[in-house]
Structure 1
Amino acid sequence: MSQKIDEILEKIIDEKTEQDIVEAEEATEHILEEMDAGYNYRKNLPFYWRWFVFAAAVLLSLFQLYTAIYGTLPSNQQRGFHVAIAMGLIFLLYPGTKKNQIKVTLGSWFYSGLLMLITIFLFVIGEIRLLTMIGALLILLMLQLSKYYNRDYLGIPFSDLVLSFFGFATGLYQFFAYEGIIARVGMYSDIDYLVAATGVLVVLGATKRVIGTPIVAVAAIMLAYAYLGPYIPFSVFEHRGFSIERIISHSFLSTEGIFGIPVSISATFIFLYLMFGVILRKTGLEEYFTDLAVAMTGWMTGGTAKVGILTSVFSGMITGSSVANTVGNGAFTIPMMKRSGYKPEFAAAVEAASSTGGQITPPIMGSAAFLMIEFTGLPYNEIIKAAIIPALLFFTAQFFVIHYESKRLNIMGLPREELPKVSHLLITKGYLLIPIIMIFVILALGLSAMRAALWGIFTAVIMNLLVMVVAFILGKYNKLKYRINIKVIFEILEESTRTALPIIAAVATAGIISGVITLTGLGLKIAGAILTLANHKLLLTMFFAMIASIILGMGLPTTANYVIMATMTAPALLEFGTVPVIAAHMFVFYFGIIADITPPVALASYAGAGIAKSDPFKTGIESVRIAIGGFLVPYLFVLSPELLLIATDSSIISLLLAIATAFIGMYGIGTAVIGFIEKKLTFIERILLLAAGLGLVYANWTFDLFGLLVVGTIFIYQKFSTRETVTLSQ
């Protein structure tokens, strides 16, 4: 961060001693480890394991770059190598439990013991082969021992070394034996089934370590559902059932399970954009975004909260975790907001809502944008174009809520003369934005998203090298804070892989879930149930799809979240011929993401509450209040698809009117939620503003006229009545 920005922030936040800073960093790290499994990694590996992890991580990054430049390998090889390195590294880097020592009891063995007994029973009744049973029992035993027996052998517990070996081996089996696997479809060998069984268990075990239990529980339920189909008590969800060998082969040996579309996108698009995000951090763009946010909004009413929104959006749109963004940015923004006068719950909620909103912001959209390419069949540039106005509406509503809450509390911004000028930042450091601009240029030229990512990566590196050359010529080389050299390049390669591990695990497990849905036809069954419940009415179908998406999305990372929504709830909306494909997928994606701030399982809100030391549930409620626009925007673009900037019969004038009325509608809803414009709103005024706002977001001339009349009347009344009060008091 620039020196001037540092000086400004010192006026907002109390000066801290070095000990205070250390304690704050430790507290942030603790919250991350508690709320985000991906941060609970081993931090003190012996040097030989550090070098091994480093070499494997660099190898995967180089593999991804090589195949992106010279062409991807056959699907089984590309995806197999991608998953193999990730699974092997996860067991080396992430322990089986967060605690160093856990008392071993009979209860601690219950679930593992039950799974082992079920495995033996399946062998006895002839459902699985002897080799498959032995492999499954070994993996289950190692997973259990890794949680309760942490004695190190050469720096890592023996059980984790065994699991890491199977992680590498099962993925590389796809890489080296893919031709034989394809040739033996329907006639798999004992070794094939052994690899499939151990591979599925290894992926689930690895995912639990870096993502958490919820998605693993969903995958386990799906696998059980595939087998127990004939015994389901609800006839609408019944199916003929499949053998264990069919389920595990479909999940691991085919390209419709673990190595299906989600991993395919991860092994091509997602990894490159994650690397692009790492390079942006290493070249100073993330810090530049913070400086730009302070310059743009620090002077406004409620400036500190608005700075928090922008910084969270900037970082959130290039990463895939609402929780990590909330904690990472919240360590800086939440204390700043509290010091300005906001309640802890409100400060934490602003950060949680903003970081969650970052996941729906183009161009990355928490990596879900690339999955949408396959699930919708639309090109990448059409997807990011469709996401622009909904994201603007989401954050506009949030800005209105924060603005009038700040006005109500009389929380002002900093004097404008004390802040750096936006124009100065753009002139002196605007070159940092060139890599992002380059991506849009490449996409506009009609090239692929993968090619755009490569150009973005190369542009970022070249720009930094040019800056270094210019700084050297001007004699200011030593003053450069961000310099790319050989050491930094290897750091980028390693960090890219480490950043990708949770996403690779998530999409691999999401592949199991989507594979079962495809195998059993569950997606169509759920769509049918939603339509029946809604009596085939669009508004009711959207409501029930919203509820299903929020419930299914609780505790899931962005990528896995979208895969599940796309296969389970989107088909219900697509039954209506008037709903475009992108509108249906964006609808369920939005509500799946909003689950991160929706109680009772509001992980991003709870993470923010940990930093703010606020009540978690109240923070969740406050997050919903601040992000109220996020609950309305999806309805808006389904009913008015022109807001997604897709080809419709609407004219340009109709499109502009729809956009304008939508933004005014967000103003009405935001002020109704806060209950303040120039002075406190009466109950009747709030009800009228809420009704007017809802009317404006629905594309209908009658509702629009009513909404404009109500919002305009109340706004003018508030302005003039306040002036009269001031005049009389003088």
Structure 2
Amino acid sequence: MTDIKKKPADEQLNFEASAEMQKKSDEIIKKLDKESTTRSFSGVMKKIFFVLCLLVSLYHLYTATFGPPLTLIHRSIHVSMMLALTFLMYPMCKKSSFTTPSIIDWLLVALSLAAPIYISTNYLGVVERAGNANTMDMIMATLLVVLVLEASRRVSGNVLSILSLIFIGYGLFGREMPGMFMHRGYDWLSLSNHFFANTEGIYGTSVNVAASYIYLFILFGAVMSKSGMGQLFNDLALSLAGHTKGGPAKVSVLASGLLGSINGSAVANVVTTGAFTIPLMKKTGYSKEFAGAVESAASVGGQLLPPIMGAAAFIMAEMLGVKYSSIIIWAAIPALLYYLGIIIQVQLRASKDGLVGLPKEQLPSFKAVINSRGHLLIPVFFLLYMLFFSGTTVVYSAVLTIVLTIIVAQLKKETRMSFNDMVTALADGAKQTVSVAVACACVGIIIGVCSKTGFGLTMANTIIALGGTSILFTLVFTMITCMILGMGLPSIPAYIITAAIAAPALAKLGIAPAAAHMFSFYYAMFANLTPPVALASFAAAGLSGGDPMKTGFASVKLAIAGFIVPFMFVFSPQLMLIDTTVFEGVWTAASACLGVFLLAVATEGYFLAPLALWLRVIVLAGSLGLMYPGIVTDAVGVTVCAVLYMIQKKKEKSLKTA
């Protein structure tokens, strides 16, 4: 930690996670995050696996720089690589060796190579026979489906694989389905070929995005991590907010948001920054549950915060057929509203409980942080420039940003990367992409069935039928659908499935496609917070020692603005800066910020003094008025603000004189 004065051991604040806390973090992430339960190699096997990961990264860098081979060949190679790494990294079951792959694992690795070899050597035949497959095509397609399902089971657990099997059953037995869900039904030859021989199944949009944007930006995150970007975010947060009222909680929000915007993984973000911030929050007086809730809410929000967000944002850009820079613009104000809501609640809780910040003399100074590691922000600004102004592709921009990050890191001793650090970052990028890539491949089975059978359109009609003519009811049903799916699935497949099912329903009601997709995106992400399956909240509770369910509900309370914001930008697309003037955008954003402030006050029940229940209800109504677009509703909200201030100021004076 930079610029911290030395003190006796019993007085020195411990800003680094202790060995015990780090051990607890590792245990929690392995218990809750299936994607992190990987083998630990040693000796020759460790070197072999390292080289394989390095070759995978070099292949993706080469194709990003000089162009990939034919579409189907490139995507099959990518999936094959990810499957091979999966069978080496992830044990078949709990009883399997966690140090050495079995003979079955090596056999599966060998079989993973079959599809790209077959497609490469029979490319014209495979493409020309699409829809009229032969027996060999069916054998290769069946093998691919089985490998993808098994890889998904190992990486993400049973839910996604079982859901894929259910959809396969739906595709096969459509004639037996009731009512509007009935379809003509397809035999396995036709269905499996749809998964294998075109770009609407396993080798569809999600795999294309995983093989290009997602891989490179995960690689960028791995390089940034090796250069010490995480330390920079922690130090920046401490220098800016550590000394303020409730400082450690604000540090958690800032550090988790910044780190999450780069790595896009909620659970991993919780255990990375939480091991550092949660002990600080507890030490300054926050309860165990509240400390865990702050960390989990802030970490989940990182998937919504530009510039990189979660990997699902790249898929959204591809599905909507827009530039990724457009996604950044659309997401900016809603993400800031989300974090504003958390920060205000943290401030109000600190005021209510009389909590203070950390001693300023024991914190790093902003100037010292910038001097030692501030240059690491250059690649982030460079990336933004490339995305918005350069005119180059996102993929090429990512490659240049990775190269620049390595160069910039060499400027200072604290961040300098050795050759070993560089190649390790490349290998880490391959390992970190496996879980995302396998999920994208598996969800391709579900999307393939939807496109073949028209299931997405059927579900859209069902959602509209349930919602009737009310857009609000339709949005509520969509929200419930998204969150139920998100509870059992990783965030990326949860978004892809909900976007395929729910977004068309919203678009049919005249809602802008961008707002419809962002609505699905938000609620698919929030399943990480919401009990009964709230992985981010449960991980934070494991670090804080708090009750997992109480932490989950506290997380929902902190993130309450995020649950309302999607409704806001559906009814007021100006919040996403869609078809709006500068004045309209500024006005809408300002009224929304004021609405989020009132919502936080109503939720926490405190402003300058405790609020009576009747006043909390009025403040809540005022917040909703400000969030709903319209001059009259804004006027009501501003009036409530003024009345709240006068009542609270009077009550504050009476409490001081009492």
Please classify the TM superposition score into its range, dividing by the shorter chain length: over 0.9
Structure 1 equivalent of residue 564 of structure 2:
632
Give the distance between the partners of 1:566 and 1:684, measured in 2 at CA: 39
Report the CA distance between 1:601 and its aligned residue.
1.3
2:201–2:448 contact (8 Å) kept in structure 1: yes
5 Å matches for 1:568-579? 568-577=501-510, 579=511
Residues 319 and 5 (structure 1), Cα distance of their counterparts in 2 relative to 1, 3 Å cut: farther
Give the distance between the partners of 2:479 and 2:396, measured in 1 at CA: 35
Structure 1 equivalent of residue 640 of structure 2:
710
Report the CA distance between 1:600 and its aligned residue.
1.4
Structure 2 equivalent of residue 60 of structure 1:
56
Report the CA distance between 1:2 and its aligned residue.
2.6
Structure 1 equivalent of residue 463 of structure 2:
530
CA deviation vs aligned residue, 1:599-650 (integer Å, no higher than 9, x gap): 11111111111222222111111111000011100001111101111223xx
SS at match of 2:357: coil
Amino acid at match of 2:90: Y
CA deviation vs aligned residue, 1:524-564 (integer Å, no higher than 9, x gap): 11110111111122111111111111111113223222211
SS at match of 1:318: helix
Structure 2 equivalent of residue 619 of structure 1:
551
Give the distance between the partners of 1:356 and 1:8, measured in 2 at CA: 37
5 Å matches for 1:651-730? 651-726=581-656, 728-729=657-658
Give the distance between the partners of 2:490 and 2:130, measured in 1 at CA: 32
Structure 2 equivalent of residue 72 of structure 1:
68
Give the distance between the partners of 2:109 and 2:433, measured in 1 at CA: 17
SS at match of 1:206: helix
After alignment, is 311-320 or 688-697 more displaced? 311-320
Residues 278 and 7 (structure 1), Cα distance of their counterparts in 2 relative to 1, 3 Å cut: farther
Amino acid at match of 2:455: L
Report the CA distance between 1:519 and its aligned residue.
0.9
Give the distance between the partners of 1:323 and 1:409, measured in 2 at CA: 29
Give the distance between the partners of 2:9 and 2:532, measured in 1 at CA: 34
1:320–1:558 contact (8 Å) kept in structure 2: no
Structure 2 equivalent of residue 363 of structure 1:
307
CA deviation vs aligned residue, 1:256-291 (integer Å, no higher than 9, x gap): 111100000111111111111011111111210110
1:47 and 2:47 aligned = no
Give the distance between the partners of 2:295 and 2:205, measured in 1 at CA: 32
Report the CA distance between 1:394 and its aligned residue.
0.5
Structure 1 equivalent of residue 192 of structure 2:
248
Structure 2 equivalent of residue 348 of structure 1:
292
2:91–2:97 contact (8 Å) kept in structure 1: no
Report the CA distance between 1:699 and its aligned residue.
0.6
After alignment, is 423-432 or 597-606 more displaced? 423-432
1:35 and 2:32 aligned = yes
1:586 and 2:518 aligned = yes
Report the CA distance between 1:418 and its aligned residue.
4.3
1:448 and 2:393 aligned = yes
After alignment, is 168-177 or 201-210 more displaced? 168-177
2:270–2:299 contact (8 Å) kept in structure 1: yes
2:373–2:414 contact (8 Å) kept in structure 1: no
SS at match of 1:258: coil
Amino acid at match of 2:112: G
**For 2:448, which of 515, 519, 540 is the aligned residue?**
515
Residues 3 and 166 (structure 1), Cα distance of their counterparts in 2 relative to 1, 3 Å cut: farther
Give the distance between the partners of 1:179 and 1:332, measured in 2 at CA: 55
Report the CA distance between 1:48 and its aligned residue.
2.7
Matched residues, number: 657
Report the CA distance between 1:12 and its aligned residue.
7.9
Report the CA distance between 1:173 and its aligned residue.
3.3
SS at match of 2:130: coil
Structure 2 equivalent of residue 141 of structure 1:
none
1:88 and 2:92 aligned = no
Residues 351 and 176 (structure 1), Cα distance of their counterparts in 2 relative to 1, 3 Å cut: farther
Amino acid at match of 2:35: G
Structure 1 equivalent of residue 374 of structure 2:
430
1:501 and 2:434 aligned = yes
1:316–1:359 contact (8 Å) kept in structure 2: yes
Give the distance between the partners of 1:15 and 1:181, measured in 2 at CA: 58
Structure 2 equivalent of residue 4 of structure 1:
4
Report the CA distance between 1:188 and its aligned residue.
2.5
Structure 1 equivalent of residue 417 of structure 2:
484
1:185 and 2:115 aligned = no
Report the CA distance between 1:357 and its aligned residue.
0.7
Give the distance between the partners of 1:442 and 1:10, measured in 2 at CA: 49
1:273–1:453 contact (8 Å) kept in structure 2: yes
Amino acid at match of 2:549: F
Give the distance between the partners of 2:365 and 2:331, measured in 1 at CA: 29
Structure 1 equivalent of residue 224 of structure 2:
280
Give the distance between the partners of 1:607 and 1:542, measured in 2 at CA: 30
Give the distance between the partners of 1:537 and 1:724, measured in 2 at CA: 47
Residues 356 and 175 (structure 1), Cα distance of their counterparts in 2 relative to 1, 3 Å cut: farther
**For 1:373, which of 317, 324, 338 is the aligned residue?**
317
Give the distance between the partners of 1:675 and 1:15, measured in 2 at CA: 32
Give the distance between the partners of 1:242 and 1:7, measured in 2 at CA: 73
Structure 1 equivalent of residue 351 of structure 2:
407
After alignment, is 692-701 or 338-347 more displaced? 338-347
Residues 236 and 435 (structure 1), Cα distance of their counterparts in 2 relative to 1, 3 Å cut: same
1:555–1:596 contact (8 Å) kept in structure 2: no
Amino acid at match of 1:268: S
1:308–1:333 contact (8 Å) kept in structure 2: yes
1:555–1:603 contact (8 Å) kept in structure 2: no
1:12–1:340 contact (8 Å) kept in structure 2: no
Amino acid at match of 1:615: D
Structure 2 equivalent of residue 168 of structure 1:
113
**For 2:281, which of 337, 356, 360 is the aligned residue?**
337
5 Å matches for 1:187-206? 187-206=132-151
Give the distance between the partners of 1:58 and 1:302, measured in 2 at CA: 44
1:320–1:557 contact (8 Å) kept in structure 2: no
Give the distance between the partners of 1:540 and 1:176, measured in 2 at CA: 52
Amino acid at match of 1:646: I
Amino acid at match of 1:567: A
Residues 709 and 220 (structure 1), Cα distance of their counterparts in 2 relative to 1, 3 Å cut: same
Structure 1 equivalent of residue 528 of structure 2:
596
Gaps spanning 5+ residues in structure 1: where? 101-149, 469-479
2:39–2:100 contact (8 Å) kept in structure 1: no
2:317–2:327 contact (8 Å) kept in structure 1: yes
Structure 2 equivalent of residue 302 of structure 1:
246
After alignment, is 164-173 or 623-632 more displaced? 164-173
Amino acid at match of 1:282: K
Report the CA distance between 1:167 and its aligned residue.
2.1
Give the distance between the partners of 2:237 and 2:501, measured in 1 at CA: 38
Report the CA distance between 1:576 and its aligned residue.
2.2
1:325–1:355 contact (8 Å) kept in structure 2: yes
2:278–2:295 contact (8 Å) kept in structure 1: yes
CA deviation vs aligned residue, 1:293-352 (integer Å, no higher than 9, x gap): 111111221110111111111121122321121122222222221222111111111111
Gaps spanning 5+ residues in structure 2: where? none
Give the distance between the partners of 1:79 and 1:38, measured in 2 at CA: 22
1:321–1:557 contact (8 Å) kept in structure 2: no
CA deviation vs aligned residue, 1:441-470 (integer Å, no higher than 9, x gap): 1122232211221221111111123x15xx
Report the CA distance between 1:51 and its aligned residue.
2.2
